[in-house]
Structure 1
Amino acid sequence: MSDANPDVAADPEPESGVGFDREEPWDAEIMSMRNVLIGLSVVFWAIVIYYSYAIPIPRAQYGVIFLGAILELYILTELMSMSGGGRENLFADLKRAYGPGNRLHAALLSLSAIDVAITTSYIAWNFQALYVDRAGRALPHEYVMAAVFSLVMIYLTWRSFGTTFLAVVVAGFGYGYFGMYAPGPLQHGGLGVERILRTVVISVDGFFGFLTQLVAAWIALFLLYAGFLKGYGAFDLIMRLAFRSAKYIDSGIAQTAVLSSAVIGSVNGSQTANAGMTGSFTIPLMKRNGVKPETAGAIEAVASTAGQVLPPVMGAGAFIMASLITGVTYVDVIIAGLIPAAILCVTIFVAVHYVAAPQLDNTNPDNLIQNAMPRSEFLSESLKYGIPLAILIYKLGVEQVTVGTAALWTTTAMLVTGIMFPVVESLIGSSDETATESLKRTLWETLDGAREGVVVLAPVTIILAAINGVVDILTATGVPTAISLTLLDLSGGVLLVAAILSMIICIILGLGMPTTASYTIVALLVAPTLISQFFLPEFASHFFVFYAAILAGLTPPIATCVAVACGIAGANFWKSCIEAIKISAPLFILPFVFIYHPEVVSAEFNAQSLTSGTFALIGAIAIIHGINYRFVFGRAVTAGARLLFFATGIVAMVHPSRIVQVGALAVVIAMYVLQTVTGRPKPIAVLKGAFGTSGDSVPQTGEAGGK
């Protein structure tokens, strides 16, 4: 069974190597399941691109076809996994997939594939009747069909995301049917079986609803773009750039994890999956250079989480936010997310420096890269990946086309530059390959990128389809109104209490889910309460639940992102959780900044938003300093200093009164100055060391207090 949250430790990378494992043509037999997947992936992406260009049918009907196709491809990848990778002869692999130990699940997958084909074909063919003519009514055989398809979706959801999310889906269905037994305001009359089946399947909503349609029309092409980036080697270039930073920053080895994991994580849509992918490289690298396993795992987990909030993709959450908030564009969402993302990145940078610099050995960064990249090749690679990104920014920011159109242009541009740049380099003699060799290599990378896009897209689509079904059931029961009334009742109308309760709910609902799924469910169930009952701006409410939901990956006892990272690091789970929370502490406070200073996420850069952002940044650094800095005072003084930095940092970040914020900021600055004057220790030296201007970045524990 595949798992979106892999926790198997990867083999360490070579001491001086760089890059991710990539498929090669000779890794599999010509007639193999892998190559069948590649061929079907090409056909699938051709359909996606054609629809994005021509839009020949309604989006809802296309969503049905899209879901059916991606489910079939996902089932094929599962059979490949059961066969040992799908790289041997096709018939030998099929025999292995259906062999002893696999027969039950192979049979269930095969039956699922048949049912998916029948159900989606039937709904797509009878779309007009089901969606328009007979809306709210269904034939007897359609109920049977819907029931079987619902079971298939539940089974595939379990295979993709395990028992945690299976429990969420089953609980959603159970609440819809047994709602009359729910306590207090959550009680409702209960939905009949037929109504539930109409809601999740027959009405062409539920599993086929707006989230599935959003993936089909927008997100899919961006994940194809991400697949091309990996296929053409962009992730390797990102790792090289990260290694180069180690030359200029004392904690540079650890910062490679922050930079590479954050950038790559921003496009793959799952902090947990990203921790498994980039962590398999960065965690062994940090450990080899002296970082403790618990610290290495925590750094990777926090970096992967930070990537989910980085514009312009925000783990694909930006697309969903733009579709949920009325009257805003995707560009507005990106602009609104810039200030908090900057705050988060700077504070994580400082925290990682504090915790990693004392542990790191003196390593020559040049030894991390085996083959140096010539300047001309670096420029060519930068243009190859930079041109599609520039087109994306231009299309969205200047021409302000739809997200789907921008995605089509960006993916097409990546396809063209990915193939043409190496060929042109060969033609002008700046490459060791002939033009024919370059063309063959890039065509293979294109095919593998298409395969990689499907592999990433399938679980994202499955979980969003399942979430859409659960949310539609909950909406039919009136549970959003019940949650609103319950929150209002429990909080007594006090905004701070309601915000804390909302954050707890968001963390619970986000357990084990990728960014898009966790944000969607809290945006539909929790954000409306903050908007309607406490009159918060829509951006502030949605960014609050967005940031709160991704905290589930770092919050014990589940902490799926930390679990994956510490599995790779061979570290203790609870110690890794503690380290991760210490590094990411401001992330737990930042959502409250959106509540009390909504101008920070107002999509406007003015004096008020920049001032509030500055206060939040300095306050966040104060929190990090109080928690992570290695004080050498006595125990009592150290505890007092930590507590004071932490408390004043929170006040500087969150307090609604600007005067109080200024006072807290003055206290923070005074304490920094006091440390500097007394020389026990010197935080200014640490900050200089962070930027490579001082080699003595962190005082040794035996350092004298007064000199």
Structure 2
Amino acid sequence: MSTPRNGEDQAREMARAVESGARQPRGRLAVAAIALLCLAWSAFQVAIAWDPIDAHIARVWHLAFAITLAYLLFPARHRPAPRWLRPLQRFGLFRDNRQRIPWVDILLALVAAAATLWIWWDYEEILWRAGLPEPQDIVLGIVLVVLLLEAARRTLGWALPILAALFLIYCFAGPWMPGLLRHRGVSLEILVNDMYLSDSGIFGVPLGVSVGFVFLFVLLGALLERAGAGKYFIDVAYSALGSLRGGPAKAAVFASGLTGSVSGSSIANTVTTGTFTIPLMKRVGLPPHKAAAVEVAASTNGQLMPPVMGAAAFIMAEIVGLPYLDVLRAAIIPALVAYIALFYVVHVEACKENVAVVPRSELPPFWSTLLRGLHYLVPLLMLIWFLVIMRRSPVASALLAIQATVVIMLVQRPILAYLTHRRMGAGAPLYRVLGQALLGGVGDVLRGMIGGARNMVAVGVATATAGIIVGVVSTTGLVGRFVNVIEVLSMGSLYLMLGLTALTCIILGMGLPTTANYIVMATLTAPVIVQLGGDMGLLIPVIAAHLFVFYFGILADDTPPVGLAAYAGAAIAQSPPLKTGVQSFSYDLRTAILPFVFVFNTELLMISGLDEAGRIIWQTDPVVIGWTFLTALLGLFALVSAIAGYAGSRCHRLERLLLLALALLLLRPDWLAEPTAAPAALVQIACLAAYGMLYLWQRRRAPRPA
């Protein structure tokens, strides 16, 4: 059995392979070329954010950087060849390419970049012959689609490229499809024009959002991580919550919420915080699979937290047609309720497992830990201030936050060096110490820019590949046919329709990163909810439908058997991956219930209704908002207790059934209010009273702790 340290290394290797490339070349020329490409990409994105250029050209260059780096950073095989094939490596076959870049990958990178940049090179002529592709356009378009699918396979696995390939096949196979899915087919010229030359396919809205918003926020997260903010968040969470029952697990939830709010990856979040928190959870007595499951659930839910929401918030704003702040307004209460309920999950598990309490003497002092890194909060506070208070655009707010982070990275090393030199006295001259510290800060900034670009490779390739799916859907009118299929299968039941849509989101979302996951769900399944909901007599706001599919797409990250975040957490905890995935999904059942609630009760999204034109009427009464938040939170608490079988003490079967009923009525009081003509608030007050009495009764009979 491997040691825990080997488990951490395995998890980090898994995260690196998924996020920034499994290949770590040793050659100086290769390392320098990759670093220069990454720096050029980051500099290009910051430059066009300050001084925008034509949107289509920006998308072309964005994809050119992404697909080139995909072939340089991601080998065709992520694992070494089997032992029985290794003798053939002396002849150049089945060689391990994780530490070298073979000439084939260099050639593919150059061809993919050339096929992409052809649009920039011949842009004016392409505009003149819009809709009439020439032979070279068709050839280059086919080359780019094939190489893009291969780049997606390398960076994301098989799920997304197979899905995109099936959609492309559907374009040609339409005349031979069954009745509900039949269409008259699409010619090669039209398909190449839509996928390659226009802005409705590969270079469509998903890639545009990656260019305009996602890169800057991923770069901000990479710079903060390089500056030391990630470790600071973990230290603060551990020092504040470590002495509570299940303190390390609660610290994992808090730290993952902080890092996940600006991170775009469940897997990276799991590895970043899990390497510290999972061993601590195991040390105080939490079983390995539960320790990993807590971290996975917290990291997965981090993608639901504003302001970034796994970078999906910006895409959602573009697709739905709402201001970015309105998307955050709708998403904030469900995200907070889900996260606070996860604290309660951890507390219940700690009580059930009789987890030990970490002595305060073994924890770092809270105030000194908090104060020593307050400067890391400046970029985040600036981001929130300019976004929410000053009403600046996300691009301008992100640029200002990046600028503040760069200043912090440049000055923190010289300040520490000055204080150390003043305290120590003798040694090298002060100017030399400060110069070396300043160079170290510059190096941190450059490494942060390189890290941000490497983290964006998978996102850029994913959004471009997802653009193929979006383009096929718009070209063939697939959404209408998909609506018909779901309508037939749901047999007129609104709940069955939502259940089928949720299951579709989980299945299609397995193995996909957050951004691509949401794009696919928003294209295929969100329109189904809106249209069929209206046909069945329920007017569902578009933002509610998109948040519904977003939530279930995110849950695919820890759903067995493909949940990649569960595999990363299991590697650190040295627990069975399948068992870890099942446990983390059981923790996330409280999150899975929320979309079904806010589709029917839009007050949870701060939406009081729709006007005659279908526009959203936002809820502004703080009393109503506070009551909605409280009842939703306590409803999830009751649901967690019903699932875990523990509230004030261990529950009997009848008590679990009562808790389940109370949870459902707190979340959906209309089930009892409508038949009895009682006010919904009165039903919720009665349920809160019953829940409180049950909890106190269980506390009285609970055994006294030693």
Instruction: Specify which of 116, 123, 127 is matched with residue 120 of structure 1.
Output: 116
- Structure 2 residue aligned with 1:229: 224
Partners of 1:105 and 1:435 lie apart in 2 by 38
Compute the displacement of 1:671 (Å).
Answer: 4.6
- AA matched with 1:72: T
- Structure 1 residue aligned with 2:342: 348
Compute the displacement of 1:466 (Å).
Answer: 0.5
2:483 paired with 1:484 = yes
Partners of 2:267 and 2:168 lie apart in 1 by 26
Deviation digits for residues 61-95 of structure 1, max 9, x if unmatched?
A: 111011101222233323699899xxxxxxxxxx9
Instruction: Specify which of 7, 10, 13 is matched with residue 9 of structure 1.
Output: 7
- Structure 2 residue aligned with 1:75: 71
TM-score by length of 2: 0.84
SS in 1 for 2:157: helix
Please tell me whether the aligned partners of residues 543 and 594 of structure 1 are also in contact (alpha carbons under 8 angstroms): no
- Structure 1 residue aligned with 2:83: none
Q: Which moved more, 1:194-203 or 1:74-83?
A: 74-83
2:641 paired with 1:642 = no
- Structure 2 residue aligned with 1:167: 162
SS in 1 for 2:261: helix
Instruction: Specify which of 580, 585, 589 is matched with residue 585 of structure 1.
Output: 589
Instruction: Specify which of 250, 254, 267 is matched with residue 255 of structure 1.
Output: 250
- Structure 2 residue aligned with 1:19: none
Identity %: 27
- Structure 1 residue aligned with 2:668: 654
- Structure 1 residue aligned with 2:106: 110
SS in 1 for 2:186: coil
- Structure 2 residue aligned with 1:332: 326
Is the alpha carbon distance of 1:604 and 1:513 closer, same or farther for their aligned partners in structure 2, counting shifts above 3 Å?
farther
- Structure 2 residue aligned with 1:615: 631
Partners of 2:555 and 2:347 lie apart in 1 by 21
Compute the displacement of 1:210 (Å).
Answer: 1.5
2:401 paired with 1:410 = yes
Compute the displacement of 1:620 (Å).
Answer: 0.6
2:45 paired with 1:48 = yes
Is the alpha carbon distance of 1:182 and 1:554 closer, same or farther for their aligned partners in structure 2, counting shifts above 3 Å?
farther
After TM superposition, the structure 1 = structure 2 runs for residues 398-547 of structure 1, keeping only pairs within 5 Å, are: 398-427=389-418, 434-533=433-532, 534=534, 535-547=539-551
Partners of 1:633 and 1:388 lie apart in 2 by 43
Deviation digits for residues 241-262 of structure 1, max 9, x if unmatched?
A: 1211234421111112212222
Partners of 1:547 and 1:644 lie apart in 2 by 27
Q: Which moved more, 1:419-428 or 1:552-561?
A: 419-428
- Structure 1 residue aligned with 2:85: none
Partners of 1:107 and 1:582 lie apart in 2 by 47
Deviation digits for residues 579-607 of structure 1, max 9, x if unmatched?
A: 22332221111001211111221364424
Q: Which moved more, 1:146-155 or 1:111-120?
A: 111-120
Please tell me whether the aligned partners of residues 311 and 334 of structure 1 are also in contact (alpha carbons under 8 angstroms): yes
- Structure 2 residue aligned with 1:4: none
Please tell me whether the aligned partners of residues 258 and 300 of structure 1 are also in contact (alpha carbons under 8 angstroms): yes
SS in 2 for 1:10: helix
Please tell me whether the aligned partners of residues 12 and 281 of structure 1 are also in contact (alpha carbons under 8 angstroms): no
- AA matched with 2:35: I
- Structure 1 residue aligned with 2:371: 379
Partners of 1:392 and 1:632 lie apart in 2 by 41
Compute the displacement of 1:378 (Å).
Answer: 4.9
Is the alpha carbon distance of 1:486 and 1:431 closer, same or farther for their aligned partners in structure 2, counting shifts above 3 Å?
farther
Partners of 2:185 and 2:263 lie apart in 1 by 38
Partners of 1:228 and 1:445 lie apart in 2 by 8
Q: Which moved more, 1:224-233 or 1:409-418?
A: 409-418
Please tell me whether the aligned partners of residues 38 and 450 of structure 1 are also in contact (alpha carbons under 8 angstroms): no
User: How many positions carry a matched residue from both structures?
Assistant: 649
Partners of 1:574 and 1:581 lie apart in 2 by 11
Q: Which moved more, 1:114-123 or 1:459-468?
A: 114-123
Please tell me whether the aligned partners of residues 246 and 356 of structure 2 are also in contact (alpha carbons under 8 angstroms): no
TM-score by length of 1: 0.84
Please tell me whether the aligned partners of residues 245 and 357 of structure 2 are also in contact (alpha carbons under 8 angstroms): no
Unaligned runs of 5+ in 1: 1-6, 14-22, 85-94, 686-695, 701-707
Partners of 2:354 and 2:508 lie apart in 1 by 36
Partners of 1:532 and 1:191 lie apart in 2 by 26
- AA matched with 2:520: I
Partners of 2:246 and 2:234 lie apart in 1 by 16
After TM superposition, the structure 1 = structure 2 runs for residues 595-634 of structure 1, keeping only pairs within 5 Å, are: 595-601=599-605, 602=607, 604-606=619-621, 607-630=623-646
- AA matched with 1:48: Q
Q: Which moved more, 1:580-589 or 1:269-278?
A: 269-278
2:64 paired with 1:60 = no
Q: Which moved more, 1:339-348 or 1:599-608?
A: 599-608
- Structure 2 residue aligned with 1:186: 181
- AA matched with 2:208: Q
Partners of 1:454 and 1:578 lie apart in 2 by 34
SS in 2 for 1:571: coil
- AA matched with 1:62: A
After TM superposition, the structure 1 = structure 2 runs for residues 685-704 of structure 1, keeping only pairs within 5 Å, are: none
Partners of 1:153 and 1:310 lie apart in 2 by 31
Partners of 1:192 and 1:417 lie apart in 2 by 55
- AA matched with 2:639: I
Deviation digits for residues 21-57 of structure 1, max 9, x if unmatched?
A: xx9xxx99894644443333222212111111111x2
- Structure 1 residue aligned with 2:285: 290
- Structure 2 residue aligned with 1:17: none
Unaligned runs of 5+ in 2: 12-19, 81-88, 425-429, 608-617, 674-678
- AA matched with 1:387: V
- AA matched with 1:438: A
Compute the displacement of 1:196 (Å).
Answer: 2.4
Deviation digits for residues 423-464 of structure 1, max 9, x if unmatched?
A: 345456688794223212211211111121012111111111
SS in 2 for 1:545: helix
Is the alpha carbon distance of 1:220 and 1:616 closer, same or farther for their aligned partners in structure 2, counting shifts above 3 Å?
same
Deviation digits for residues 594-632 of structure 1, max 9, x if unmatched?
A: 111112213644243433332221111000111224479
Is the alpha carbon distance of 1:678 and 1:11 closer, same or farther for their aligned partners in structure 2, counting shifts above 3 Å?
closer
Deviation digits for residues 276-305 of structure 1, max 9, x if unmatched?
A: 443333223322332211101211110111
2:118 paired with 1:142 = no
- AA matched with 1:63: R
